[in-house]
Structure 1
């Protein structure tokens, strides 16, 4: 496979290591990977003289670290989403102030209040959708680069799988958050009085 792992048939491996027909280790691959402890106990009952090891028992510290990392990752994602939402809200709020005269003129010409508000909602949705799609593409590219770099190193690494459903869910959440961030500028635009805006410039 690489510089660290090699596969061969059992007879050649026994001859290579002078095992005389013996087998030093049997590894099993199961479908329910997180049930390895329960399956290991069942195997132990049938073969009490065998030493049964599972990937969970051999990697308890790693699993504990991964659980802590997962919790930290969710917290980081939440604060990143919050920061992005506040950033979009501030940008659209500044745009509402800068475009208040134009909005006032449009409302004086007959533009409905809902149409003026809808401009900022659409702008927020476009920013959120385009930004989340670009971010997802960049993330997938970084994952592919990591996989290529880890495989070239010669060591076996954990498989990283990008789930399409998860990516779509994150894109939807980001878009909804961006639309929510646009609510304040939209309400600001809806509350503008055309005469006062044009008079005050």
Structure 2
């Protein structure tokens, strides 16, 4: 039933989206949640395509919310609540709740639907190959999410590039804790002139 519900919503919501604004919102966030495999950051380009390219949210609002979501603990999917609160034509609280529910529901339906078959499924060679392929795709999507919109909006000059490279080296070569790197780069960022 859960797998049927997952597929049914994935098929029906796009067909019904034109009937009401709340269905259009539910469709956009449900599809984003349904197509994410491998981690929260994979949802970033999907959400950007749904809310920024449609004109619901400006690129600056999107990046501000993404930055805030990175500053607090919790899953990146909660970013959907922020985006839902910004959507035009719907109450902010209702939009936040609708977006949050719509992005989380596909994962719950898949979990409940696949769990009884998981041990058997993961032993199949074709399933293992499928998971390896999905993992490789996730790496590509994460690279795309890093580049657009994060890299293209944050790295606008040589100073920003040098700061990002320094942060990468501090994390990977010198193995400093992430919070130390964030603090150091935040202080260093103060000295980069605004353009």
**Do the two structures share a fold, i.e. TM-score over 0.5?**
no
What TM-score comes out, normalization by structure 2 length? 0.28
Larger CA Rg, structure 1 vs 2: 1
More helix by share: 2
What TM-score comes out, normalization by structure 1 length? 0.28
